[in-house]
Amino acid sequence: MANEIYYIGGNDEHGINPPTPGKRTPIMPGLDRQIYENEFNNAAKNYFLEACLRQGFSVYDVKPEDYDISITERVRRINRQNLTALVTFAYNAFGEDFNNTSGVEVYYSPTNVDAEQSRVLANDVYQRIIQGTSQNGRGVKTLDVGVLSSVNCPSTLIEAGFMTNLREAQLMINPLFQIEVGEETCHGVCDFLGVSYIPRDNLSNYPLLRQGSNNNFVFLLQFILNQNGANLNVDGIFGSQTLSAVRTFQQNNGLSVDGIVGPNTWKTLLFLPPYPTLRQGNSGVYVTFLQQLLESNLIPVGGIDGIFGSRTLSAVRTFQENNGLSVDGIVGPNTWNALTQNVGD
C-alpha cells in the first residue's frame, strides 16, 4: 500500500504490572479502587496503532511491555527506528483529590531536532481531539522531556484528561473514549502527513481475508487478535497460525467458524454497532465491552472477563434502575443507547 512509506510510533507512559507509583486516580466511588494511568494510556495507544494500520501505515510499539520502561531506554528504541512521527499517550493530574480541573493538553518540544514539524504535528492532533471528543481544550504547549526533545523525529505527547477530575477519571476506562482519542489522534497524524483518513466504523473499508492473504489489513487483524488473547507474530501473512486464531475468535464469539474474516467477523473484532442483545450466559468481546462500560459508570462487575455472570447481571440491573430503564437484566437497544451516549462527542 502507498502509505507504507510512513512509519508511525506509539508510546504509552508508565506501567500497570506493577503500576508506576503515584500515577493513579483517587479512590473511585462505587468501584472502591483507584484507576491507574496506564489503564488509559496503553488502551489508547493500541487503538491508535490499530487506526494507523488501517491507514496502511507501518507502526512501531515503543513499549509493548505492561511494566514501566525508562525514558532513556524508550528514546534509544525510538531513535533506532527512523520513525516518520511519534505519539505518546498520557493522562494528567492536579493535586491529590478530585477537583474541577479538566481538559486535554498536547505537547511538543522546541528543542526537538525537528521542532517546527513537531509543533505542526501537535497542533494537528490537538485540533482533531478537541473537535472529535467532548473534552475541553487547554491548548498546545511546550515541554522538554526525552520522548519529545531527544528523539530524532517529529514527536507529540497527549495529556487526554485529568485523572483528578471524576468525570475524566471515568473516561479513562471507557472503551469508547479510548477509541475516540486513538482515532482522532490518527486523524491528526493523517492531516500532518497530508493523507486521507479512513474511518473505523465503515465495514466496507475492511477487505475479506482468508488464509493466503498478505496485506496491511492482515497486520491489523493479527494485532487485534493478539489483544484478544492470541500470540501471533504480526507479520501481515495470513498463515496457519492466524487461521487457527481466527477460528478460535469466531468460536468464542458465536460466529460461523470458517476461518474467513468477512463483515461479521470484522464487526465483532471491532465491537461495532448494532450491538447484540446480551443476557446472562453470553460471553465474548461484546460482553467485555459491556463490562467496561458498566465500570466506567462506577458500577463494578467483579472483573472484566467477557463472561456475563451473576455479578454482571447485577451490574446491568443497577445501571437500568439508575437510568429509568426496564430492570430486566437484558442488554437490548435501550440499555445500549444509555450506556454509549455522550461519551466521545
Cα-to-chain-centroid distance, residue 185: 11
Domain 208-269, classified CATH 3.40.640.10, yes or no: no
Cell readout for 320 is 437500568
User: What angle do the packed helices 115-132 and 175-193 form, to 10 degrees?
Assistant: 140
Model pLDDT for residues 55-87, shown as the tens digit of each residue:
999 999 999 999 999 999 999 999 999 999 999
In one-letter notation, the amino acid at residue 53 is L
- Rounded to an integer, the average pLDDT of 311-325 is 98
Per-residue pLDDT at 8: 98
Residue 1 has pLDDT above 70, yes or no: no
In which residue ranges of the chain is CATH 3.40.630.40 found?
Answer: 2-193
Q: Return residue ranges of the chain for CATH 1.10.101.10.
A: 208-269, 285-340
Residue 342 pLDDT class (50, 70, 90 cuts)? low
| pLDDT score, position 343 | 67
Average pLDDT of the residues in 191-220: 97
- Rounded average pLDDT over 115-141: 97
Instruction: Give the mean pLDDT of 303-328.
Output: 98
Q: In the chain, what is the straight-line distance between the N-terminal and C-terminal CA atoms, in Å?
A: 31
**Over pLDDT 90: what percentage of the chain?**
97
How many whole angstroms separate alpha carbon 267 and alpha carbon 77? 34
Where is pLDDT greater, at 341 or 6?
6
Q: Cell numbers at residue 344, please? A: 466521545
pLDDT tens column, 274-291: 999 999 999 999 999 999
Give the mean model confidence (pLDDT) for residues 310-323.
Answer: 98
CATH number of 2-193: 3.40.630.40
CATH number of the 285-340 domain: 1.10.101.10
